[in-house]
Every structure is written in C-alpha cells, then in structure tokens.
Structure 1
Amino acid sequence: MASQLFDDEKRPHDPAQVNELGTDASSTEVLNALMTEDHQHDIKLRTMTWQKAAWLLAGDQVCLAIMAQSWSLSVLGWVPGIITMVLSGILFWITSITMHKYIMKNPQIRDICDFGYYIFGKSKVAYIFSGFMLLANNILLIGFHILTGAKVLDTLSDHSLCTVAFSAIVMIMGIVLSAPRTLQHISFMSIFSSACMGIAILLFLIFAGIEKAPLYGYNGDYPTDGLVHTYAFPLPGTTWVNCMNAVLNITFLWVPQILFPTFISEMEHPQDFPKSLAVLVAISTILFIVPPAIGFHYVGQYATAPAFGSLGVVAYKKASFGFVIVPTLIIGVIYANVTAKFIYWQLLGKSRHVHSNTFIGWGVWGVVMVGIWVLGFIFSEVVPSMGDFLSLLSAAFDSFFGFIFFAVAYWHLYNGKLFDGAFRSMMTLIHVFVMACGLFLLGPGLYAAVEAIIADYSGSVSPAFSCASLGI
C-alpha cells in the first residue's frame, strides 16, 4: 500500500502533491501508508506514544509566561482577568480538538503550513504565508528565550559578564541540545523542563507568601504605590492599550497550536492526541490560573512580568528564578526543532538524506539548526523591547494560528450540516465566536501592540548588543 500511494518522487509531505496521491484512499489507509513508509527509514519520526506527546506538550506550555499572568491580573483586575483566562482555556480545548479532527481527515499534514495550505483550498499562497509566519514567530520566540536565559544568568551572577556573552552562552547551549532530529528524544527533556518550571513557580509562591512586602512594581518601589491590594476591575487611569496588552499576554500563553500539527505527525498513533491534550489542559488549567492568582494576591499592583521581579528579598529572587534556565532552553529547543524541520523538508524533502544517517543529512540539519539559533541570537540583541514584540506576534500570528485557522477548518469539517441538531448548532456558534476573536486580535489587538511599541520607542531605547545588565 505504501509503495502504491507514495513513490520516491512524490513525497507524502509535499503539500502540492499529497492530495492527488490520496484521492482514492481513505484517511486511515493514508495514515497506515505514512506509518509503514516512516518505519522503513533509518530515522523514524512517527514513534511518540501519547504519553510522550503529553510530556512534550507540557514541556512547551509550562513556561516562564505563566509568571507574567499576575501582571495581567494587576492590569485587568480579578473579574476581567479570570474570565479571560477561563475563556482562553475553553477556546484552546475546542480549537485544538477541531485541529485534530481535521488532521485525522488529512493525515498527510505534517506542520501548520500544510494545515494552512489545505484549509484555504490548497493555496500555495496560504502555504508560503503560513511558512513566513511560522519562521518569524518561532525564530523571534527563540530570540526571546535566549534573552530570558541571559536575564537568568545576569540575575544569578550579579552581572559578572557582559549580557551579550551570556546570550551567546545560552545560544551555544541551545544548539547543542537541539541536535536530536526526533521529537521523541526532546519529549524526554521536557520532563525536566516542566519539573524545573514547577519548582520555580512553587518557590515564588512560598517566598511571596512569607516575605513582608514586595520589592517594587512598575509604579515605583514599595510602598510608593500604597500598600499591596487587589481589585475586581482595572484601576482608574488604566489605558485601553494596557488592558489589550494584558489580554494578549494571556492569549499568548494559551495559543501554542502552531506546533501541534508537527507533534501529531510524529505520534505513533495520532488518533490518541486528545489523550495528550487532556493531560495538558488539566495541567494548564491549574498552572495558568492558580499561581497567577496567588501571586496577584501577595504582590497586587506591584506585580511585574515575570513576577519574580516583585520579590523583595534578593536571595528569594535568585533561588526561584534560577530554575527557569532549564525550561528556557528546552522550550527554545522545541521551537527550533519544529522550525528546522520545516526548512529541512524544503531543502531535502524528496531525498533519502531526510530519513537517513548520512553525512549530508546530518550536515544540513546542523547548518540549519545553527542558522536558526544565530538568527534568534541576533534578534535578541537588536530588538529593543522583546516583550512588546511578543505582543505584536500574539496579535499578528496567534490570531491565525489560535483562532482563524480553526474556524475555517471547522467550516470544512461540517459544511452542509453546521446546524444539524442542538449540539452542532452550539459548536458552530462557538466557532463563529472563535473567528470573531481572531479578527479582533488581528484588528484592535494589533493596533494596541503597535501603540505599545511606539510608546516604548518614544523613550530611551537600549542599543543593539548592549552589555547592560538584564538582571531582575
């Protein structure tokens, strides 16, 4: 079956050809053929169990961004903040299930670019556009993780080296850890990543609870902005741009689906992905809401992003923030792997090197991976406000990868029966809301992100490749 469906000149992962190869075959036959073909190679990609996929998902999601959610609550207040978090979680679950169902009907999809290609009518323009967004999003995120790693080392060492040197060290460590070509190997690293981030969060909560007062907030040192307090709604004077950026900060945490098609394509049984997703949702629901809420309770209006910066005792700050170096590196490795695979398949997708232990195969993989991390390093040094640019990414790219893509996929899945019964009608209305959310992020959300960048640029801007300390 595999040889009949997919010959060597028409690789199943070429989005311009795969549909024609599978026109007379069911999705199950295509999936079985893909699995059979993959297991004949030296380097087997489709090997992850659903448990290992769950580790990988947790490794990607249990990240430093959790520690920025207390700041989002300090901007939005309890009511809008918690509503945004819960709603983001619900939409994340629903859209991820929609994505999985669509991929199960088109199992030849191997990344978000293939996904965009199919849902927009096998459009090469959509494929190229998705590829551009994938590269821009992931490489900038790798740059952010390099910058975060430098921030951790700066904090722990009291700025014993130039920050550029610390960034270079993190980049080199990332390149070394990115050597594996399969996500199964990286899923093992994700266990340690999640554990270290969990320890960092727990230590922060303990230290925030036992110390007398926070150190400082964005409005001054404690108690410049008064005693610590919390509030149900945004404080008077809070701008719409700040509120929108706080919302983007929350949605950014809940929208990792840009990686999911690649994860699914490397599972031994892709139909089991909902099990992995359920584990992730359970973990995320707890970690994305409870620690930020406790942090907001203890540091109130003094919350910073990340919240470690609010701790009043320097030793507490170092003890908790230090563990973040592990998830910072591993999450960068996950994004680098997905990015490298996209480039790698464009270069070698039709050759034997892509699945074999050849000098050319490993050489190209190494060059691509080094190039990705070096680009990330450059962006980390030349972008003055990486946080603002992440808000820009959230508005520009997450609007597609977290909302619009899956509303369109849902329409393809149920076109002609969108209102067959109460449940289907409800799900259709939910996906209409998903589309509206995506368009809102792409419009007003993008405007707010750009306004924040303009405001930052109007003040002092850090020079490129600065040695200045990034320590919190």
Structure 2
Amino acid sequence: MDHIQEKEASRDGYGQNLRLSVFETDRGEEDVFNEESPDSDIKYKTLSWQFVALLMISEIVSNGILSLPSTLAVIGIVPALILIIFLGIFGLFTAKILIDFKLNHPSVHSMGDAGYIMGGPILGEILTSGTVIFAIFATGSELISGQQALSTLSNDGLCSVLLVLIFAAVTFLSSLPRTLGNLSWLGLFSAALILISGIVGMAGAGANPVQGRVVEVTMSNSFFEAFLAVTNPVFAYAGHFMFFILISEMKRPQDAMKAAWCLQGFATIFYAVFAVVMYVYIGNSVESPAFLSLPPKWAKAAFAIALGNFLISTHTMLGWTSWIVLCFIAATIAFILAVALPIFSYLIGITASLFAAWYTYGLAGFFWIHDTYHLHGGRKGLRDRPVGMILAILTILSGAFICVAGTYVSVQLIIDAYEEGIVGAPFTC
C-alpha cells in the first residue's frame, strides 16, 4: 500500500470530522480540476449543489418514470410502492458512500479512477470500459424514447429509423458543450420538462380513465415475471456512475450530499405518485412507456413536453477537436445499435444488469470497505464497525443478485422473442 498522509477536514451536513486521505501515488490525489490556471479558457468547477441536483434529476429520472406503472400491473400497488420507496432510500445510502469516497479521493473523476484506487489498472480499465458501454447503451435507450415521442407526435408519419437518426443528430449537437456548467440552466429546464410531462400524463389518465379497468393491490407471479417487472424501479434509480463526474465540477464538493437528498427525495415521491395515478386510472392494460396508454392528444402533449429532457448527455475534459469527434462517434454508435440490432431493447437490460447494478448499488459496499480499511486501522477498523460491515456486505450481495438475475431475465426475454418470432429485421421501420 502506498504511503498515506491524512488530514482532518470538516464535511458540511453531518456535523462531524472525517479523515480525508491524500494518496501519494503516481496518479496523485490532487483535485482532478485543481490545477486549471486562472486565465484558462474553460472553467470546470462552476456548479452549485442546487444545479447538480437538477442535473442529477434530469439525467436519472428522465424516461425512468415511464416504465413504472407497468410494474404495478404485474406485482400490484402495495409491493410496487414498498419497492419504489425502499430503492429510493437504498439509492440515497449508496449515494452517501460514493460521495464520501469522492471526498476522500479528490482525484477521482469517474468509476474508472475509483477502480484504479481499489484494484489497480485492471479494475480501473474494467470500470472505465463498463462506464463507456453503459453510457452508449443509455444514449441508445434515450434515442428510442425520442423516436417513440416523435412517432406519436407525427402519427407514425415517418420511418422509425429516420426518426432515430433525427434524434441522434440533435443529441450529438446538444452534447457539444464541454462542461456541465454550460448545461446548468438547461438542467433546470430539463427537470421542469420531465415534471410537467408527468403531470400532463397523470391529468390525461385521470380525464380519460379506462372503462372496466382492473386494479390489483397485490398479485402473484412467477419469479421471471416478477423480477422482470422489478427491474423497472431498480434501474429507474440507475445513474450513480455520473456522481463522480458531477461532483468534480462542483464549487464545493462537500455539498454533494445535499444534491443527493434532493435527487432521491424528488425521484422517490415523483415515481410513487406517477406510478400509482397512472395505474389506478389505466389499470393492468397500462403500457411501457406509460404515455402510449393515453388518448392520442394527451400522449402527444406529454411526449412533446418530455422530448427535451431526453437530450441531456454527459461530458468530460478534452480538446475541442477530440471532443467533437468523440461525441460524434458515441452518438453514431448509439444510433447504429438502436436501429441495426432488433434486440437492442433487450440488450439495454443486459448492460443495465451488468453495469448499473454495480455502479448504483454493489460497488458502494466495496468503496466503504476499502476506505474503512485504509483510513481506520485495517482489519481492526472493520471489526469496530460491525453494522457498517454488514450493510456493506449486503450492498455487495444486492448488486450481485441484481446483476445475475437481471442478466438471466434479459437473456430469457431474447430467447422467448426469437421463439415467438417477434424479433424484427435490422434497419426496418
């Protein structure tokens, strides 16, 4: 283990002093943006915690709400609500651990950096590759959401491939700003859009309740059907892989937990209310995305408002030429995957299971164990914190379970789709 210097630092919001480590390694533990010169053309540390909260909401809530009512249609209102609330609390817990890890290691800017600290270059490359893969597939998922919105607005007047291409081009252009500070006000606009679109969707459902609808408090299903439905709220909270990037561009990283509270509080309440209202008025016939279950005029209004939210992307530090090229490559790959792979929607589930399960849930346990071991006396530090150790292990196991079960369900869906002949051809409308 490299030599570690420790210094006392106060962390706002918890009223206690924590040991922050400064590792003297080849990579260094200086703040990732600490060396920018005063006359630098690009300023990175510009975000307040309020705008970080808005960007988190824009990135994570997004179209995650649209699949939640279908979860209630499979397992019932009560189990689904319990699950949504539990996952919101669990997501806040893992966010706390990730934020602590970032504050303890200011050089961390991505999951790859965190992996390097915990396991060296190999783990660092694994987590970096996973982040890139998951980000590209998440972009592809947004492209599909954009295509669904445009198809609804155009009454299916254009080929879906063309609609995906249009949305991909707009996504590419919106991703060109190189710092999140350039998107801070856009984050406010985007968060407002997803909130308003949800309200419009609920109003549409309430004004046009489905006659003879079936609403269940609890329902029994096979493990496969139940877990398939459960993946909707599980991955609706996915997005923790963005935390390190967002915190790196904060004026005061110590305020990051305030943003996490806002994110999880908003997401949990909004998810619960939206899912229940849509399900109660539509019943077990509710589709995913839920807006497709609305009458045409209401569906168009809700999708039109939500459309802008689907364009929020991520950013990093590179030269302009390299940055534009990489944005174009990422958008192009996402477009090709979305239209060339008939099973792309199923592959999104696989990538979410393989990576988001760990980035949002499981890795937090490893982060806690790593820092407790190295900052609090090794094995003795772990033994002195039995509750934290148990929670860390359970967090790791939960990530592993979601990863394995989610992958199994996604693979089985692909097998079933081919057996039922519902898999289309590449590049078809």
TM-score, normalization by structure 2: 0.88
Residue number in structure 1 paired with 2:217: 232
Question: Structure 2 vs 1, CA of residues 383 and 239 (structure 1 numbering), >3 Å: closer, same or farther?
Answer: farther
Q: Please give the secondary structure, in 2, of the residue aligned with 1:35.
A: coil
1:375 equivalent in alignment to 2:358: no
Residue in 2 aligned with 1:430? 391
Distance 1:443 1:22, change over 3 A: closer
| CA–CA separation in structure 2 for the residues paired with 1:74 and 1:427 | 36
In 2, distance between residues paired with 1:21 and 1:269? 26
- How far is 1:45 from its partner? 1.3
Q: 1:428 to 1:90 in 2, by over 3 A?
A: farther
Tell me whether 1:152 sits opposite 2:149 in the alignment. yes
- Which residue of structure 2 lines up, in the alignment, with residue 393 of structure 1? 351
Instruction: Provide the C-alpha distance between the structure 2 equivalents of 1:73 and 1:387, rounded to a whole number of angstroms.
Output: 21
Conservation of the 8 A alpha-carbon contact between 2:136 and 2:333: yes
The residue that corresponds to 1:90 in the other structure is: 89
Question: Deviation per CA, 1:225-250, whole angstroms, max 9, x where unpaired?
Answer: xx312223224xx3322211111111
Distance 1:20 1:70, change over 3 A: same
Letter in 1 for 2:346: D
Listed as ranges, the matches of 1:100-249 within 5 Å are: 100-120=99-119, 123-213=120-210, 227-235=212-220, 238-249=221-232
CA distance in 2, matches of 1:92, 1:450: 26
Give the whole-Å Cα distance in 2 for the aligned partners of 1:287 and 1:279. Answer: 12
CA contact (8 A) 2:147 2:167 kept: yes
Deviation at 1:256, TM superposition (A): 0.8
Deviations 1:186-205 (A, max 9, x none): 22211111111111111111
Is the CA contact 1:95–1:402 (under 8 Å) kept in the aligned structure 2?
A: yes
Partner of residue 366, structure 1:
324
Q: 2:302, 2:263 → 1: CA distance?
A: 23
Q: Does the aligned pair in 2 maintain the 1:117–1:127 contact within 8 Å?
A: yes
1:253 to 236, 239, 242: 236
| Separation of aligned partners in 1, 2:35 and 2:371 | 27
Give unmatched runs, 5+ long, in structure 1: 1-17, 215-226, 346-353, 355-360, 468-472
Letter aligned with residue 322 of structure 2? V
1:119 offset after TM fit, Å?
Answer: 2.3
C-alpha RMSD over aligned residues: 2.0
Q: TM-score, normalised by structure 1?
A: 0.80
CA separation of 1:83 and 1:38: change in aligned 2, threshold 3 A: farther
The equivalent residue for 1:440 is 401
Q: 1:58: how far off?
A: 1.6
Q: Is the 8 A contact 2:209 2:282 kept in 1?
A: no
Pick from 297, 307, 318 the counterpart of residue 325 of structure 1: 307
Q: Which of 247, 271, 282 pairs up with 1:299?
A: 282
Q: CA deviation at 1:73?
A: 1.4
Name the CA distance, whole Å, in 2 between partners of 1:45 and 1:38. Answer: 11
Q: CA deviation at 1:413?
A: 2.2
1:412 aligns with 2:370: yes
Deviation at 1:320, TM superposition (A): 1.5
Q: 1:279 to 1:38 in 2, by over 3 A?
A: farther
Q: Once structures 1 and 2 are overlaid, which stretch shifts more, 93-102 or 160-169?
A: 160-169
Is the 1:38–1:44 contact (alpha carbons within 8 Å) kept by the matching residues of 2?
no
- SS state of the match for residue 154, structure 1? helix
- Specify the alignment match of 1:47 in structure 2: 46
CA distance in 1, matches of 2:403, 2:195: 32
In the comparison of the two structures, how many residue pairs are matched?
400
5+ long unaligned stretches in structure 2: 1-22, 374-379
Distance 1:212 1:71, change over 3 A: closer
Q: SS at 2:36's partner residue? A: helix
C-alpha deviations, 1:386-436, integer Å up to 9, x for none? 43222212211122212221101111122332353xxx4333322222111
Q: Is the 8 A contact 2:61 2:237 kept in 1?
A: no
Instruction: Give 1:445 shift.
Output: 2.5
Q: 1:308·1:321 contact (CA, 8 Å) conserved in 2?
A: yes
Summarize deviations over 1:138-196 as a string: whole Å, max 9, x none: 11111111122111111111122222211111111111111110011122211111111
Deviations 1:206-265 (A, max 9, x none): 111121417xxxxxxxxxxxx312223224xx3322211111111111121111111111
Q: Is the 8 A contact 1:38 1:46 kept in 2?
A: no
Distance 1:54 1:38, change over 3 A: farther
CA contact (8 A) 2:109 2:248 kept: yes
3-state SS of paired residue (1:466):
coil
Q: CA offset at residue 270 of structure 1?
A: 1.0
Q: What amino acid maps onto 2:25 in structure 1?
A: E
